[in-house]
Chain A
Amino acid sequence: MSASTLPSELAEPASDHQLLEVSLGPQHPSTHGVFRMDVSLDGEMVVKLKPVFGYLHRNHEKIAEKCSYLGSIPYTDRLDYICSLTNNWAYAMTVEKLAGLVAPERAEYIRVILSELTRLINHSALAGFLLQDMGALGTPLMYAFREREKILDLFESLTGARMMCNYMRFGGCRCDLPPGWIEQTRSLVANFPSFLDEFEALLTGNEILQARTEGVGVLTPQLAVNAGVTGPMLRATGVNYDIRKVDAYGVYGRFSFRVPLGERGDVFDRYMIRILEMRESLKILEQALRDIPAGPIIDPKAKLRNLRPKPGEAYGRIEGPKGELGFYLISDGGPNPYRYRIRPPSLINLTILEDMCLGQTIADAVVILGSVDIVLGEVDR
């Protein structure tokens, strides 16, 4: 912490004010990982905010360029470690585009089911963390994690791991569903709305939550679109853009679901959008679990080892729980990609943090950061 005086042209109208520079993070518990905010404060107001990241950089993109196409899949789990299966899907989809593989229908249904379950995990955990940032220490997060554990149990019985699933392959999925898995998932999906009702009874009507979130961190649709913000952040401002609807990738075109939209783009809308999206995810899950066909789970043309796609490039994107997750691959015909690039939703959504925080109090800056929903594994790669 250091006190400093800014040159008069930079300071706010009352130029004799002293600004206080506070470094929030990287070990600050409310910054969601190793993320640092350099904040200049005028009293309690934020007048300048500089996000600093890179503490979790692990050279993922370069490692992937030295690794075979198969070998990168376990690394993609570690990007956004709360939602490993959607990362798998985005990568597998891009390699499929590059190598001209087509996943069988059953595999596509499994992918939809898993990615919607992942969305439930992410949004319930996010709501819990957001409330933790507002000072509701423990309780909402504990309830959210209790439900998350039940979904992780399903992931473990299918993929063998709770978080680092490493399940999807280019051309399909690694193994078929174990017996009884569909029934277990169905009963989970049937019980989940009662958890959501409870969660909403606990939180949505709570006056303290409303007072802390309404009108805080307002993001305008124009700024959101210009900055390339995607996902629930963008939809909370009222822009109707969901890649599941726009691209209808996989088999998403077959399901009927609605895209919830916000009005004001404040923190409360961002919280509410996530709750509503979970309800829509449950609708998709019900339909997918009902319609899942029998059949093979991997394209017979797909070979995992020594995959050498023809020279070319491909960009695959999916609607991850946090926004548009894209992979960009260039192949030069060799066994590993020539260029491997990720478009992480968390990083892009973080770029407008300062615009949302200016003029707010320091306590609100923490809440606004919590509502952006970042995972540093993805921001830093």
Chain B
Amino acid sequence: MNGFGIIKGMIETARNFVGSYHDAQRLTTVQYPEQKLPPVENARTIPFLVFDGDDAMAGLRCTACVICEKECPPQCIYIVKDQVKKPDYVGKMQMQPKVFDIDISVCMSCGICVEVCPFDAIKMDQVFELSTGDRFGKLLLDKHQLAKPNDYFVKIHKTEASEIDVRREEDKRKAEAAAAAKAAAPKSPATPGAAK
């Protein structure tokens, strides 16, 4: 019968309209500025730099190896190496960044910097609502703005961060054991050749 299909369609619309009041499957949106959904664990927006301890600049894990700068597809990372070195978590002397800037107006949130970083120093943040009226200054983040503590990383990416923490703990233990063995070692042979 002509017109029957339209009536059938209208029944569907009515069912959806009524359903949106009681069925969560039919009303999946939230009232955004008042209500916010928590981000999922894997969500990523822009990168940040992880630091250990309390002092952000002293505890930065970044060793200014510039792998991320080279691999970044839109080239939004800018790094200048420092002349001074500092010991990392296993006591090895490492470089540190003098300048570490990320232009988040260029960053496309792909996460390739995180993938290629061998030191777990750069990770993806979950902040959003980053809009600002200042187009040039506030969208260029320096290392002070990018540095965030490891606790924050653990908070947002729990699974990944705890795996990394366990691995670093292990490395540290091994390094300390190696250092202790090295400290103990020269005494036993007591030959000038072994001290080298």
Contacts and interface: CB of A to CB of B under 8 A. Distances in A.
A158 B6 contact: no
**Which of B16, B73, B115, B116 has most A Cβ within 10 Å?**
B73
B71 A205 contact: no
Range class of the A interface residue count: 35 or more
Given A157-B42, A159-B42, A207-B3, A305 B110 contact: no
Nearest to A207: B5
Interface stretch (A66-74, A105-113, A232-240, A371-379): A66-74
A135 interface: no
Interface stretch (A118-126, A160-168, A245-253, A344-352): A160-168
A139 B12 CA distance: 11
A265 B163 CA distance: 55
A67 B16 contact: no
Interface in B24-41: 25-26, 28, 40-41
Interface stretch (A4-12, A196-204, A255-263): A196-204
Given A143-B16, A156-B42, A160-B111, A67 B73 contact: yes
Contacts, number: 84
B6 A207 contact: yes
Contacts of A207: 2-3, 5-6
A71 B112 contact: yes
A272 to B, nearest CB: 14
A145 to B, nearest CB: 10
A70 B44 CA distance: 18
Given A74-B73, A178-B42, A146 B5 contact: no
A150 interface: yes
15 contacts: A70-B71, A73-B112, A74-B112, A146-B28, A149-B28, A153-B40, A157-B42, A158-B42, A161-B44, A178-B42, A203-B9, A207-B2, A207-B6, A304-B115, A304-B116
A-B pairs with lowest CB-CB distance, top 6: A205-B5, A74-B110, A71-B73, A160-B44, A160-B42, A202-B12
Given A156-B40, A201-B8, A206-B5, 19 more contacts: A71-B73, A72-B73, A74-B112, A77-B110, A139-B13, A146-B26, A149-B28, A157-B41, A160-B44, A164-B108, A164-B109, A175-B42, A178-B42, A198-B12, A198-B15, A202-B8, A204-B5, A206-B9, A207-B3
